[in-house]
Amino acid sequence: MKMNTQVSVSKMVTNIIMITLCFLMNSTSAANFLVGGASGWALESDMESWSSSHRFNVGDKLAFVYHPIHNVLEVDAQDYEACNLENPMEIHTQTYTIITLDTLSTRYFVCGTQGHCKSGLKVKIVTAPPSPHHPPPFNFPPFSETTKKTKNLIITTCFLAVKWWLF
């Protein structure tokens, strides 16, 4: 039993490293965040502390990395506060989920496994406007079709590698 736990932890660490590498290869001026930090999307993560210690901007990406027992539901504010799992706006179950913060808004995510939200596996993400002390990132010219294809190939390869490591 202990060996299975060690293998599981080892796989999770490997997955986190791979997701981070994929983000680094795909990053532009936006930031990439591993939700929950080193623990990922897990019950032992302190999501409230994690989210309050970061500033999220439009264009940033959130990576949820989790074991198959978990999932990610996007819900509204009321369902977030009540841990109501009945009316999610989005459901993600792939053991990794990438969410792009594309608007100034507050978004709410919970784990849909019974009891996990009430145990704290939920996160509120507030996307802030650019700080007056930090000018918005430089906008690069549009990618050529070849660059887009190369970038998509890198992203696809990274996610296939992550999926391979998960199973």
Q: CA-to-CA distance for 73 and 66, rounded, in angstroms?
A: 13
Cβ–Cβ under 8 Å, residues 165 and 11? yes
| Average pLDDT over all residues of the chain | 78
Q: CA-to-CA distance for 91 and 102, rounded, in angstroms?
A: 18
Q: Does the global pTM surpass 0.85?
A: no
pLDDT > 80? residue 119 = yes
In the chain the domains, ranked by start, together with CATH numbers, are: 31-131 (2.60.40.420)
Proportion of the chain above pLDDT 90, given as a percent: 56
Report pLDDT for 30: 77
Q: Could you tell me which residue, 8 or 87, shows the higher pLDDT?
A: 87
Q: Could you tell me which residue, 123 or 161, shows the higher pLDDT?
A: 123
The string of pLDDT tens digits covering residues 10-52 is 566 555 555 555 544 444 457 899 999 999 999 999 999 999 9
6-13 — which CB contacts under 8 Å span 24+ positions?
A: 8/67, 11/165, 11/166, 12/40, 12/65, 12/67
Q: CA-to-CA distance for 107 and 1, rounded, in angstroms?
A: 38
Radius of gyration, CA atoms only, the chain: 17
The string of pLDDT tens digits covering residues 64-117 is 999 999 999 999 999 999 999 999 999 999 988 999 999 999 999 999 999 999
Local structure of 14: helix, strand or coil? helix
Proportion of the chain above pLDDT 70, given as a percent: 60
Phi, psi of 90 (to 5 degrees): -140, 150
